[in-house]
Amino acid sequence: MKGIADYEFVRHLGSGNHGDFYLARRPERLPIEADLVAVKVLAGESTQDTFRRAARELAAFAAVRSPYLVAAYDAGQQDGLFFYSMEYLPGGSLADRRLPAAQAITAVAHAARAAAALHAAGIVHRDVKPGNILLHESGAKLSDLGLAQVFTEGITITGMGAVATVEFVDPALLLGEPARPGNDVWSLACTLHHQLAGTGVYGDLSGQDGLMLLRTVLATTPAVAPDLPEPVAALIGECLTPQRPTAAEFARRLEEIA
């Protein structure tokens, strides 16, 4: 794919939930300083109804102001394909590598600040995971709105995107419960655990895929690795309970630890 609308693609950046990411040259009409932006093209054709719904969700996200959120610039539809452009951060994500403990804690704290801003606006991200926490020189930003929606509908297993990342999803969502801000806190804690321990709260899931991975997650009680230092281990453990802290509280406590 060479481009979409007036975006000229430079290269393919990778695939995410329900679509592909591209590095693109900024169209002259966009009033931003950056020369390059990231563009996500959603897989499959979109109807006018789904286009309007996706555009509304993106507009709601773009209206949230936080230095810890990747900026959303533009959205459109061409030949039945929905796309949107956003800020490009070349530093990769937490999915690319494990960081030193202090840096990992800071990165997740920044993502928690972003989630808190979304929650204050009535939005649950619902897809917080290492690949959606993008890194830069000063920390991290939360990205990819593939599943972010205003608090209305529940979620299904088939709507969760890549099964490989299901270990970061609150089981309540997998079981069809309505989305709540606490779902993002669960995911943030699981992401931090993976960074610090090298495995998730369900242990080593390598070699499992598809339904086997899903069954393991739903049948296993999550547990914090015994070698994680206090107080971060205790904080992660709190986030795996029904009485978990808010995203803002989680961020504040992480900042104290870091």
Do 209 and 138 lie in one domain? The reply is: yes
Per-position DSSP letters for the chain, written without gaps between them: --EETTEEEEEEEEEETTEEEEEEEPPTTS--S-SEEEEEEESS---HHHHHHHHHHHHHHHT---TTBPPEEEEEEETTEEEEEEE--TT-BTTT-PPPHHHHHHHHHHHHHHHHHHHHTTEE----SGGGEEEETTEEEE---TT-EETT----GGGS--GGGGGGS-HHHHTTPPP-HHHHHHHHHHHHHHHHHSSBTTB--TT--HHHHHHHHHHS-----TTSPTTHHHHHHHHTSTTPPPHHHHHHHHHHH-
Q: Is 94 inside any structural domain?
A: no
Average pLDDT over residues 14-34: 90
Do 80 and 158 lie in one domain? The reply is: no
> Of the residues 87, 121, 140, which one is the last residue of a structural domain?
87
Global confidence as pTM: 0.90
Do 110 and 67 lie in one domain? The reply is: no
Q: What is the pLDDT of residues 150-203, one digit of tens each?
A: 223 444 444 444 566 889 999 999 898 998 999 999 999 999 999 999 999 999
- To the nearest whole percent, how much of the chain has pLDDT over 90? 71
Instruction: With a cut of 80, say whether residue 223 has pLDDT above it.
Output: yes
Do 82 and 185 lie in one domain? The reply is: no
Q: Is 127 a catalytic residue?
A: yes
Q: Choose the catalytic residue: 74, 127, 144, 170.
A: 127
Do 76 and 195 lie in one domain? The reply is: no
Q: Is 93 inside any structural domain?
A: no
The structural domain count of the chain equals 2
Do 114 and 164 lie in one domain? The reply is: yes
What is the residue range of 31's domain? Answer: 3-87
> Of the residues 87, 109, 137, which one is the last residue of a structural domain?
87
